[in-house]
Structure 1
Amino acid sequence: MYKQTVPLILASKSPRRQELLQAMGLKFNVLFKDVEESYPEYLSPAEIACYIAEKKALAFSDEGQESLVITADTIVAYDGEIMGKPANADSARRMLGRLSGTVHQVYTGVSLVHKTRLQTFYDMTEVWFREITPEEIDHYINNYNPFDKAGSYGIQDWLGFIAVEKITGSYTNVMGLPTEKLYSALSNF
């Protein structure tokens, strides 16, 4: 069983990650630094998620933090294409149109950093979307916030409720933080 012995910092603006840590019963503060999220083109989707999570973590490693810092990055991959956060409604419309009626993968890389120790892991979940209509896509874009979500959707909101037929893997991973793997990593860190 994980016993929290050092203060935790969640280095993320994501309200979903904050909700998940709260639901896990963890006490933490939120502190984040802007980190440029570029990556080498030759990396696989899993490597990209881990690479960016580590970049975020390393922004904290030189401060001699007494806290254990948790960082994460989530990406959606479909047919060799990485789908990040959409820049605008047209970008969201294109992404959701591509995902309609397909299976895609969601990868979340997570890094834990405490003083000089760094540990990184990832999780992958496959998500099956039914065919969604252009009207449903427009409704979602106009009434929800796809702009802060990889792949332009949240599994925990309207589109997830009406479009996701099934998943293989962790539901919380698709939300942006694979809680079961995080709990295990914290227990063994």
Structure 2
Amino acid sequence: MALILASSSPRRKQLLEMADLSFRIITKETDETFDPALELNAAVADVAKRKGYAITDQVTAEDIIIAADTIVVLEDRVIGKPETREAAIDILTRLQGATHYVITGVALLKGKEEVVFSERTEVLFHPLTPQQITYYVDKYQPFDKAGAYAIQEWIGVTGIKRIQGDFYNVMGLPVSRVLQEIRTLGYRSDKD
């Protein structure tokens, strides 16, 4: 039995390494379009499920696939990854002083078994100055991050007023819950 991370996210990789898990990474380009018939929590979990099933032909029935997708939601609107410096500044300007939600959908797949869920964390930024926002964007280049920020970087340390929920979910994977759920699929590490 092997753990397979179906994600190229450096943050998800880092979180599983922090949990001292041995795993391999296998990814495949997958359509990340939301099903409009689903509410957001279910839609993001559905995307994670599609990412996991996309690689099932490359693993054994005993392997456990960990797939995830993360979105940022402000006022019922999904905030994606910024494509430009100006887009990142605009996103962070809208997020500052406001409460938003980070939702991560997770799919854990083993043969015909699946555990699919979503985790939601509320995040509130302090009001940030235009200079702080520009400094962060120019120094950290958050173009590969939903919501244009990473909570573990400078902006999280200096700009987050409060979070309610799983901190690591905001990084991209509710790793503690993932650990609990993979045990239900029969996974045991040498630390269990």
- TM-score > 0.5 by shorter chain: yes
Q: Give the whole-Å Cα distance in 2 for the aligned partners of 1:75 and 1:178.
A: 13
Q: Is the 8 A contact 2:34 2:44 kept in 1?
A: no
Q: Give the whole-Å Cα distance in 2 for the aligned partners of 1:146 and 1:49.
A: 21
How many Å apart are 1:62 and its aligned residue? 4.2
Q: Is the 8 A contact 1:74 1:106 kept in 2?
A: yes
The superposition leaves residues 6-43 of structure 1 with CA deviations (integer Å, 9 ceiling, x where unpaired) of 11111111111111101111100111111121112343
Structure 1 residue matching 2:7: 3-state secondary structure:
coil
How many Å apart are 1:145 and its aligned residue? 2.7
Over the matched positions of the two proteins, sequence identity in percent amounts to: 38
Establish whether residue 61 from structure 1 lines up as the match of residue 56 from structure 2: yes
Q: Is the 8 A contact 1:64 1:115 kept in 2?
A: no
Structure 1 residue matching 2:60: 3-state secondary structure:
coil
Match of 1:90 among 86, 91, 101: 86
Which residue of structure 2 aligns with residue 11 of structure 1?
Answer: 6
Establish whether residue 126 from structure 1 lines up as the match of residue 89 from structure 2: no
Establish whether residue 171 from structure 1 lines up as the match of residue 167 from structure 2: yes
What are the within-5 Å matches in structure 2 for residues 131-170 of structure 1? 131-170=127-166
Partner AA of 2:10 in structure 1 = P
Greater shift, 38-47 or 18-27, is seen at 38-47
Match of 1:112 among 108, 111, 118: 108
Establish whether residue 27 from structure 1 lines up as the match of residue 13 from structure 2: no
Structure 1-normalised TM-score?
Answer: 0.92
The superposition leaves residues 119-172 of structure 1 with CA deviations (integer Å, 9 ceiling, x where unpaired) of 211111100101111111111111003111110000000111111011000000
Structure 2 residue matching 1:52: 3-state secondary structure:
helix
Q: Is the 8 A contact 1:129 1:165 kept in 2?
A: yes
Structure 2-normalised TM-score?
Answer: 0.91
